[in-house]
Amino acid sequence: MFTKKLMLLRFHSHFLTPPYFFPKLLLSSTSTLSFRRITTACSAAVISSHSLSSTSYGPSLQKGTLPLKPHQNPILNSAINPPQQAQTPENGDEIPFEEDHFTRVFEIAAIRVPSERCFELEGRIRGHLLNWPRVSNIARVPGDEIDEEVQGLLMEDKGLGTEEENEVEKAVSRRIYGKAEGDGEELSGVLYRDKLAKEFNARGFVIEECEGEGENVGGDLSGLLGDEFKGRKWRGSTRLLLLDETYAGKKFDELPEAVKAAFMEGSSEATKSSCELVRCNLTLSYDYWSNDEVLEALLPKDMIIPSAFETVGHIAHLNLKEEHLPYKKVIAKVVLDKNKPKIQTVVNKIEAISNDFRTMELEVLAGNHSLVTILSENGLRFQIDLAKVYWNSRLSTERQRLISCFTSDDVLCDVFSGVGPIAISAAKKVKRVYANDLNPYAVDYLERNTVLNKLERKIKVFNMDGRRFIEAIFSSETHPVTQVVMNLPNNAVEFLDAFRGIFSYKTRERKLTLPMIHVYGFSKAEDPEFDFHERIRVALEEAAVAVEMRRVRAVAPGKWMLCASFVLPEKEEDKVQEKVGSVGYVAK
Question: The domain spanning residue 312 has which CATH number?
Answer: 3.30.300.110
Mean pLDDT over 24-51 rounds to 33
**Confidence label for 232 from pLDDT (cuts 50, 70 and 90):** very low
Q: What is the pLDDT of residues 448-474, one digit of tens each?
A: 999 999 999 999 999 999 999 999 998
Q: Which residues of 561-576 are buried (b: 16+ CB within 10 A; e: fewer)?
A: bbbbbbebbebeebeb
- Picking from 414, 424, 421, the residue whose alpha carbon sits closest to that of residue 456 is 424
Q: Report residue 445 CA to chain centroid gap.
A: 28
- Tell me the CATH number at 467: 3.40.50.150
Q: What angle do CA 341, 343, 346 make, to 5 degrees?
A: 140
Contact 449, 375 (CB under 8 A): no
Q: Is 437 annotated as a binding residue?
A: yes
Interacting residues of 162 by C-beta distance below 8 A, sequence separation 6+: 231
Number of domains, the chain: 3
Give CA–CA dist 61/290, Å, rounded.
Answer: 11
On the 0-12 / 13-18 / 19+ scale of CB atoms within 10 A, 165 is: middle
Structural domain including 69 reads: 7-52+59-284
> Within this chain, do residues 228 and 133 fall inside the same structural domain, yes or no?
yes
- Within a domain: 15: yes
Burial of 221 (0-12, 13-18, 19+ CB in 10 A): exposed
Residue 442 within any structural domain of the chain: yes
81 is in an annotated binding site: no
79 with 165, same domain: the answer is yes
CA–CA gap between residue 490 and residue 488 (Å, rounded): 6
Mean pLDDT of 24-44: 33
For residues 160 and 127, which has the higher predicted lDDT (pLDDT)?
A: 127
Q: With 50 as the cut, is the pLDDT of residue 55 above it?
A: no
In a shared domain, residues 127 and 254: yes
- Residue 57 CA to residue 112 CA, distance in Å, equals 24
Residue 561 lies in a domain: yes
Residue 169 belongs to some domain of the structure? yes
Q: Tell me the DSSP string of 98-126.
A: -GGGG-EEEEEEEEEEEGGGHHHHHHHSG
Give the pLDDT confidence of 198-209 residue by residue, as tens digits.
444 434 454 454
Residue 292 falls inside a structural domain: no
Residue of 517, 524, 526 lying closest to 546 (CA atoms): 517
H helix runs in 476-564, sequence order: 528-540
What integer pLDDT is reported at residue 477 of this predicted model? 63
Instruction: Answer yes or no: is 521 within a domain.
Output: yes
Residue 30 sits in the same domain as residue 166: yes
Average pLDDT over residues 475-501: 90
Residue 402's contacts (CB-CB under 8 Å, 6 or more residues apart) are 422, 485, 518, 563
Residues 240, 275: Cα–Cα separation, whole Å: 9
- Please determine, for residue 538, whether its predicted confidence score (pLDDT) is greater than 60: yes
Output the pLDDT for position 216: 58
Residue 465 among known ligand-binding residues:
yes
Give 145-193 pLDDT, tens digit per residue. 555 555 555 555 555 556 666 666 666 666 555 555 455 555 555 555 5
**Which of 284, 315, 334 finishes a domain?**
284
Q: Does 21 or 54 have the greater pLDDT score?
A: 54
**Is pLDDT at 582 greater than 50 in this prediction?**
no
Q: Is the peptide bond before 341 cis (omega within 30 degrees of 0)?
A: yes
Same-domain pairing of 223 and 355: no
- Do 319 and 275 lie in a common domain? no
pLDDT at residue 512 in the model? 76
Query: According to the model, what pLDDT value does residue 453 have?
Result: 96
Find out whether 99 and 289 touch, Cβ atoms under 8 Å. no
254: helix, strand or coil: helix
SS3 for 326?
A: helix
Counting Cβ atoms within 10 Å, is residue 334 exposed (0-12), middle (13-18) or buried (19+)?
buried
Say how many CA atoms lie within 13 Å of 78 toward its Cβ. Answer: 15
